[in-house]
Chain A
Amino acid sequence: MLNVLTLSILIALVYLAVVATIAIVAALRAGGRRNDDNEDHQALAVSRFTIPVSIIVPVLKPSAAVRRTVASLLELNYPEFEVIVVVEGQSGIVLKLLARDWQLEAREFFYRQTINTADVRRIYRSGRDSRLMVIDKIGHGPSDAINCGVNVSRYRYVMPIAPAATFDRDALLRMMTAAVRDPANVVGASGHLELGESSTTTGTARLAARFQRLASARSMMDSRLGWRYLGAGLGPTGGVNVWRRDAIVKLRGFSAAAADPDLDMMFRLQTNALEGGGRFDRGTNVFGHVGPQQMRDTLKIGVRRQQAALEIVSAWARGRGRRFDLRTLAYFIGSEILTPLTQVWIVAATVFGAAAGRFAWISVLLALALLSFGNAAVSNAALLLRGSAAGGPEQGELQQLLKAGPLDFVLYRAMLAAARVVAIVRFVGGITRREPAVN
């Protein structure tokens, strides 16, 4: 007779097999044929009716990347936008760099402080490009910096973007697709920031970068096969989001207490009765790229994302957010909580069974092999879909990614799983002593 442990492992296996089969079959059905971009951005790019956007660049620590990002932003192919750089805390070096590049001049700007933030020390305007504004403020974290940018922003949509991102000139046009198509209902939309290799990475860093590239491809597959068919959306980890300003203001801005302020805002926007609807669109477009993340940062993001997911589920369970689309919530729980935990459970239960003498140790190795190749097969399905859009991996990179696939589970996702477990322990144990921000 099957014991409970074996039964639980078998159920978990069946669940993962079903999820993987659905993903692979759907990817194969969608096909790997190159789908040209059906969007014609030419008309949008020159029209005075294209919705203007305020781009907010929060700078939380001194970084030379800000210079490149600001220059790239001001080169965007978009009819009307402004760039608001919010420099937090020790701002001297960044201000000096930007002042040199953009002829910054201290100019007072009287704005509406609709969201409470830490004090602004000085506001600068560029003598070279009137679309650029730089704010020097007292450091109070990323949410506060973005909220400050929202206060100062002039346009209907705001888009915070990290200084490390690189993107092409049409990135904002792609990003605004959903908002332009349905301005009355779309309160936010997300695009993907692909993690990838940089020419300077070598050895284990290069391998880690490949794992991150696979994670990006899986996230895009998630958007393309799952999220686009749902009534509501919750954006991908580390993506770029564009928000409708009035909705953000109505919810009193991004929460400093939330584990993941973006995810928290997406949930709140879709569970509060907002005038003119409230739909967050998880897009399938790639906004741009970021270089490989340090493993430490990846783990931090993993912990935050898991905590944020638990906060959302907990808030929903406590009745705060009954308006949220149930199918979306189920999909979110499945992809963010259930699937990774099922994988953890299979490994943990098999190890426990082997240690207790119920299974042979070879079972543990077989379980790892199964999960590694199963995971790699799903990654391949994601690469198949990624290849059908512009910017997909070319021959050489594709071969490297295919080879890295089976190692991903043991070398990369194992660490992410550990981060998730830490997040769960923290959440359950109340170690963070932080009230979930979602309401």
Chain B
Amino acid sequence: MPSLQLVFAAAALLALGVWAALSLHLLAIQRRRIATRQLIADAIALLEQSHVRKLSLAERIDRLRPIAAGASRELIMHATADRETPDPAFRALLGYLTDRWGLDTLLRDGSAHTSTRDRWRRITALRILYRSNHTAILDLLARAVDQTDVEVADAALTLLGSSHESRAMDILFDALRAQRHPASRIAMHIEQSPQLIGARLRANLGDRDPVIRLWCATLLARYPEQPIEAELASLTADADPRVRKAAIQTLGKIGDEIAAGRAVHLLTDPFAYVRAHAARALGELVRTDLADRVAPLLGDADWWVRLAARESLEMMGSDVWPVLMRSLNHPDRFVQNGAAEVFQNLGVLDSLIVMEAATDNPGAIKIDMLRRIAAAGGVRFTDSLVERAGPVIGPRIRNLLATIGLQHVGAA
């Protein structure tokens, strides 16, 4: 039986050997990496020379041959798929790639994968084939989207989203329906598509699948020219709250009179996120006349709705101050706080108090207004006000607040 010392010695030698071998391997890889980078740079530089650019494709490929002879297929794929590669160089590299290894290999790479490395090849092949407008590309992309492999599907969705082919949009809509990947991810690519699909989205507003209805309603915000207000308005009564939310969200961006009416209706929706989006829609439509309908939501049971109500009132601008003043008397502390915060954020409070602090004889009405806003805001609110006013006016405001008994007004 060998002694422990012998075991340690043999194992240490083995470990030393492995370490040394791996070190050499790493350094060799690093050297190869530098060389390949140089090779790619040289190839692109050659193809970008003005006299080479004027040559026919076959001649350019011939020029490339001596430089690229030592390059692996993956290296050429890498250079070809690079978005930074200029178009003439891309054509020449693609020609070289298919001449040397065959188009079938590239198509095979783009159609399936098993290992991680295969996945890289597949995505790269799809990018190359897409850029070259290959006839099979949409079939390959459709197959990739059908896969559960997220990385391959993501790459395919991105390419489809940038395609001008109407079939690309069919594939994206099929993917949305299949729900194999998050709908928001697919919708993102549909929205960024260069294709104009307003009519198609409109046609799908009545789809049986609520996911399709909600995304069509959401995506229609990009098409303000479509006469869709009435159709979207009808979706605000949809059984699915997500669809109602999407409809009112888009109406807030592109709607008008009908939109405001539907938004008011949805302010009492049982679902908080629908109420929040209805409030925001009224803000985006700048319906100051409806501010009194939004103000009660400052005291909503759901915090997100309260926040949306504040934002909505702020979007409507300083004309909402009479509504805010009434809210200061609301028995709900949340409503008072919210109204005070909106006053603060609109700048109404600051201009009011600075004006009053500057005068020796502040008006009674304004002082009453100040007292109510400050009382609704609480201690930190008034302290922030004094601090915001700065070292010159701040002390005067503190005095003013003190004279009306409001420097410290109780708990927030």
A residues engaging B (CB < 8 A)?
Answer: 2, 6, 9-10, 13, 17, 24, 30-36, 38-40, 42-44, 46-51, 105-110, 112, 120, 122-123, 154, 180-184, 350, 353, 359-360, 362-363, 366-367, 369-370, 372-374, 376-377, 380-381, 383-384, 387, 394-395, 398-399, 402, 405-406
Q: Which residues of B are found within 8 Å of A350, using beta-carbon distances?
A: 4, 8
Q: Which residues of B are found within 8 Å of A398, using beta-carbon distances?
A: 26-27, 30
Q: Taking the nearest CB of chain A, how far is it from the CB of B195, in angstroms?
A: 15
- Whether B242 sits at the interface, judged by CB under 8 Å, is no
Q: Which of A154, A373, A384 contacts B18 (CB 8 A)?
A: A373
Q: Which of A48, A370, A395 contacts B11 (CB 8 A)?
A: A370
- Residues 125 to 157 of chain B near chain A (Cβ within 8 Å): 150-151, 154-155
Q: Which residues of B are found within 8 Å of A31, using beta-carbon distances?
A: 117
Q: How far, in whole Å, are A122 and B191 apart by their CA atoms in the complex? A: 41
Q: How far, in whole Å, are A34 and B79 apart by their CA atoms in the complex? A: 13
Q: Which of B23, B187, B381 contacts A380 (CB 8 A)?
A: B23
Q: Taking the nearest CB of chain B, how far is it from the CB of A79, in angstroms?
A: 10
- Contacts A10-B7, A380-B19, A384-B26 given; does A47 touch B191 at CB 8 Å: yes
Q: Which of B96-104, B255-263, B279-287, B336-344 contacts A (4 or more CB under 8 A)?
A: B336-344
- Whether B383 sits at the interface, judged by CB under 8 Å, is yes
A-B CB proximity, top 4 nearest: A366-B8, A373-B15, A106-B384, A380-B22
| B307 with A366: CB separation less than 8 A | no
| B8 with A367: CB separation less than 8 A | yes
| A109 with B341: CB separation less than 8 A | yes
| B117 with A122: CB separation less than 8 A | no
| B192 with A405: CB separation less than 8 A | no
| B29 with A49: CB separation less than 8 A | no
Q: Which residues of A are found within 8 Å of B155, using beta-carbon distances?
A: 38, 40
Q: How does the 8 Å CB contact mask read for B172-189 relative to A, with 1 for contact and 0 for none?
A: 000000000110110111
Q: How far, in whole Å, are A110 and B377 apart by their CA atoms in the complex? A: 9
Q: Which residues of A are found within 8 Å of B87, using beta-carbon distances?
A: none
Q: Which residues of B are found within 8 Å of A359, using beta-carbon distances?
A: 4-5
| B30 with A395: CB separation less than 8 A | yes
Q: How far, in whole Å, are A384 and B22 apart by their CA atoms in the complex? A: 9
Q: Taking the nearest CB of chain B, how far is it from the CB of A146, in angstroms?
A: 19
- Contacts A2-B1, A107-B384 given; does A395 touch B34 at CB 8 Å: yes
| B8 with A108: CB separation less than 8 A | no
B residues engaging A (CB < 8 A)?
Answer: 1, 4-5, 7-9, 11-12, 15-16, 18-19, 22-23, 25-27, 29-31, 33-34, 74, 78, 116-117, 119-120, 123-124, 150-151, 154-155, 158, 161, 181-182, 184-185, 187-189, 191-192, 303, 307, 334, 337-338, 340-341, 344-345, 377-378, 380-381, 383-385, 387-388, 412
| B12 with A377: CB separation less than 8 A | no
- Return the chain A residue nearest B304 by Cβ: A154
| A43 with B188: CB separation less than 8 A | yes
Q: Which residues of A are found within 8 Å of B378, using beta-carbon distances?
A: 108
| B4 with A377: CB separation less than 8 A | no
Q: Taking the nearest CB of chain A, how far is it from the CB of B361, in angstroms?
A: 28
| A47 with B192: CB separation less than 8 A | yes
- Return the chain A residue nearest B23 by Cβ: A402
Q: Taking the nearest CB of chain A, how far is it from the CB of B200, in angstroms?
A: 18
Q: Which residues of B are found within 8 Å of A360, using beta-carbon distances?
A: 5
- Contacts A366-B12, A380-B19 given; does A44 touch B27 at CB 8 Å: no
| A180 with B18: CB separation less than 8 A | no
Q: Taking the nearest CB of chain B, how far is it from the CB of A210, in angstroms?
A: 14
Q: Which residues of B are found within 8 Å of A122, using beta-carbon distances?
A: 380, 383-384, 387
Given contacts A181-B150, A377-B19, 8 further A-B contacts (CB under 8 A): A30-B116, A36-B124, A107-B384, A373-B18, A395-B31, A395-B34, A405-B23, A406-B19
Q: Which residues of A are found within 8 Å of B383, using beta-carbon distances?
A: 106, 122
Q: How far, in whole Å, are A171 and B117 apart by their CA atoms in the complex? A: 24
22 A-B interface contacts by CB (under 8 A): A13-B7, A24-B22, A32-B26, A36-B78, A42-B158, A44-B188, A47-B188, A49-B187, A108-B340, A109-B341, A110-B412, A120-B380, A123-B384, A183-B182, A350-B8, A359-B4, A363-B8, A380-B22, A387-B26, A402-B27, A405-B19, A405-B23
Q: Which of A30, A49, A184 contacts B191 (CB 8 A)?
A: A49
Q: Which of A33, A39, A106 contacts B387 (CB 8 A)?
A: A106
Q: How far, in whole Å, are A399 and B27 apart by their CA atoms in the complex? A: 8
Q: How far, in whole Å, are A9 and B116 apart by their CA atoms in the complex? A: 37
| A43 with B192: CB separation less than 8 A | yes
Q: Which residues of B are found within 8 Å of A2, using beta-carbon distances?
A: 1
Q: Taking the nearest CB of chain B, how far is it from the CB of A395, in angstroms?
A: 5
- Return the chain B residue nearest A35 by Cβ: B120
| A107 with B345: CB separation less than 8 A | yes
Q: How far, in whole Å, are A399 and B150 apart by their CA atoms in the complex? A: 36
Q: How far, in whole Å, are A49 and B23 apart by their CA atoms in the complex? A: 46
Q: How far, in whole Å, are A387 and B16 apart by their CA atoms in the complex? A: 22
Q: Taking the nearest CB of chain A, how far is it from the CB of B152, in angstroms?
A: 9
Q: Which of A40, A47, A376, A384 contacts B154 (CB 8 A)?
A: A40
Q: How far, in whole Å, are A394 and B154 apart by their CA atoms in the complex? A: 30
Q: How far, in whole Å, are A36 and B122 apart by their CA atoms in the complex? A: 13
